[in-house]
Amino acid sequence: MHAFPEGLPAPGRSRMVLVLRAHDHLLDPKPGLGDPEEQEIDAYAGGDLGQQMASLLALAIAQRIRSGGVIRHAFEDDPLGSPLALDHYPPTLSMPRSRQLLPRVANDANLHDSEHYLNVFARFPAHDAVAVMRAAHQYADALWWADLDPRMSWIKLFGALEAAADNWDSSVRPDPVAQLKRRHKGLHDKLERKHPEALQIVAKSLSRILGAESKMIDFILNYAPDPPAQRPEFGQIDWTQLEPALHVLYDHRSRDLHGGIPFPEPLCSPPFFDINGVPTEAFPGHSASSGGAIWPAHRLPMYLHTFAYIAGEALRRWWLSLDKDKAPRMQ
């Protein structure tokens, strides 16, 4: 695995190589299990072991980390193994167009800070482990793509939050009928009156997709961090007004995905910095224009790095909250 603490793998910039040694004690799955006519994705998180560990580390310590693939195979009679580079693909990170969009990605990080997160993860039941892994993949992608394609980074951060919010909402509202009543009371009441026998079927069918925006915003507000320790002298966001800002950002994401209207260019640009070198949290002007479009300031509620900070901290708090038994850390 390759970590890029300074954001760039260019000569003279810091890059750290991490070696993951894993022991496989599981038998290969038998073919033919399950119904071939039915989709089964409840346990699917994507990626091989190296990619999964890289994503978990990226989320745990908020750094750009990518798997470079398998470079060595070993068996019981040869514990040190032999080099094997068939699946080795050194990750590459593109240069920013100007300044970095995620200034905090260059902050110092300690790999030991991931230990508690990984120990907690090892105790999860399958459904929680899959949810964290899915969110971690999306978050790791968001960090990686921020400078090359900020629009993709926005979309990936929303994907990470929605993966987590879906798991969290199901835990606080496990009954699909209760979810339907909370998210779509009109449909619930109509079914209850006219087709009560169909209420459970419809509610279960819609439970994963109903109210995606409200689930995600409820999730963020539940796990939202305090403001950063260092704040700019201008261009601050009102931390007590996160909810309306999140609705605006979700609307931009929906227009991008479903209407082909890209994220506003000012939100895909590097932030300004105050005299102390602290990046502004939100667009500091009254309005902005680009490509024939105009956005007033309230439609530009925060920069990508601010949203990445909120999303990352919320995801890490949720990750630790899933540790139900609070068992002693594994050694």
User: Is the confidence at residue 155, as pLDDT, over 70?
Assistant: yes
Q: Which two tokens stand for residue 291?
A: 């490509």
Determine which of 75-89, 261-275, 306-320 has the lowest per-residue pLDDT on average. Answer: 75-89
Residue 177 token pair: 């009928």
Query: Which position has the token pair 């949203």?
Result: 307
User: How far apart are the C-alpha atoms of 230 and 39, rounded to whole Å?
Assistant: 48
Percentage of the chain surpassing pLDDT 90? 56
| 117 contacts 107 by C-beta, under 8 angstroms | no
Tell me the pLDDT tens digit for each residue of 130-154: 999 999 999 999 999 999 999 999 9
Q: What angle do CA 313, 316, 322 make, to 5 degrees?
A: 140
pLDDT-wise least confident of 87-91, 290-294, 310-314: 87-91
pLDDT at 198: 87
* pLDDT band with cut points at 50, 70 and 90 for residue 321: very high
Quick check: 31 pLDDT over 70?
A: no
Tell me the average pLDDT across 39-55. Answer: 90
pLDDT digits (tens, 9 = 90+) for 75-134: 877 777 888 877 888 888 877 777 889 998 877 889 999 999 999 999 999 999 999 999
d(CA 95, CA 87): 25
Token code pair at residue 234: 């201008």
User: Comparing 30-44, 68-82, 241-255, which segment has the lowest mean pLDDT?
Assistant: 30-44
Q: Are 228 and 271 in contact (CB under 8 A)?
A: no
Q: Which residues pair with 75 in a beta bridge?
A: 78
Rounded CA gap, 294 and 76, in Å? 64
Q: Give the residue from 176, 154, 161, 175 showing the smallest Cα distance to 131.
A: 161
Look at residue 160 in the predicted model and tell me its pLDDT. Answer: 97
**Who's near 213: CB < 8 A, 6+ residues apart?**
247, 250, 254
Query: Which pLDDT value is given to residue 271?
Result: 95
* Residue, of 79 and 295, whose pLDDT is higher: 295
- Confidence band, pLDDT 50/70/90 cuts, at residue 324: confident
- pLDDT category at 34 given cuts 50, 70, 90 is low
Specify the DSSP element, H or E, that contains 75: strand 72-75
